[in-house]
Structure formats: structure tokens, C-alpha cells
Amino acid sequence: MADSAHQPLRLVLDTNVVVAGLLWSGPPRRLIEAAIAGEVELYSSAVLLDELAHTLGYSKFDRRIEAFRTSIAALVAQYTALVTLVAPASVPRIVANDADDDHVIAAAVAARAELIVTGVRKHLLPIGSHEGIAIVTAREVVDRIEASGKA
């Protein structure tokens, strides 16, 4: 993998990772920072951006968004500015019990992503990979970035 030092990792972040990265510190935040620094390339789709806006609208995030003196629209715009949008040709049913996760996989296939990053241990992570795209945690990606000397 000598090329990894030259080519940024191509990632699709599950919505839970995006929310954590926008509102908290830790590995998901590090991935957002890595995208800003050009260490990784983020890809998303219109459906995933809609899901992000919907998820940030949950009342459990109100205080956190307020503490940052920001808004859902501003957070979605901030993330949208970091991603390259893809339009999946189709969204096959892959993830048992969670059709929303099928959109994550479809975006990753359309983006020719190397990794799908999720924090949901019950749906996506157990799949392990799809069409050669590994499904991993944010911590695993951060460790990989730091090991490659880009940190």
C-alpha cells in the first residue's frame, strides 16, 4: 500500500459518525479534521445528507447544537462542503433490519470508497465488507491515518 501516502483514503461516513464528528471530540471529529486537511476524501449522497439533517433534528442534540452556537442548517452546510456527492445508480437491500444503512453502502459503491465508517455495531459492522469496501469504526481509520504518518 505504498500509494496510501499519496492518495487520500476514500471514505463514506455513516450518519452516526458524522453527528459525533460535528458535535463531539474523539475519532469521528478527527475524521472531519482529516477531511479538512485533505488527508481523507469524504463522499456522501443526497439521501445521506437528508438523513443527517433529520438526525440532527432529534431533541437529544438540541443542547449540544445550542452550545456550539450553530444550527442544523449550518452543520449540514459545513459537512456538505467537505464531501463529494455521488448519486448511487441503485440501492439494493443488503443490511438486514435497517434500510437506511443500504444507502450508506450504495453511496460507498458509487464513490468507489475504500472504507465505510460506522459506529453502529448491530447492523453495518457485522457485515465486515461489501464489494471489497471494508466496514470499520472511526477509531480504526484514525489509527490507519496516524500509522501512515499523515497525522
pLDDT value for 151: 46
pLDDT band for position 6 (cuts 50, 70, 90): low
- Report the percentage of the chain scoring pLDDT > 70: 95
Question: Residue 54 above 90 pLDDT?
Answer: yes
Average pLDDT, the chain: 91
pLDDT value for 3: 45
- More confident site: 127 or 23: 23
The CATH superfamily assigned to 2-147 is 5'-nuclease (3.40.50.1010)
pLDDT value for 2: 41
| Residue pLDDT, tens place only, 62-109 | 999 999 999 999 999 999 999 999 999 887 778 777 777 889 999 999
| Residue pLDDT, tens place only, 99-115 | 778 899 999 999 999 99
pLDDT value for 18: 98
- Report the percentage of the chain scoring pLDDT > 90: 77
pLDDT value for 124: 85
Q: 3-state SS string over 95-146?
A: CCCCHHHHHHHHHHHHHCCCEEECCCCCCCHHHCEECCEEEECHHHHHHHHH
- More confident site: 150 or 78: 78
Kindly tell me the number of DSSP H helices and DSSP E strands found in the chain: 7, 6
Between helix 15-23 and helix 27-36 the angle, nearest 10°, is 90
With contact defined as beta carbons under 8 Å apart, do 9 and 114 qualify?
yes
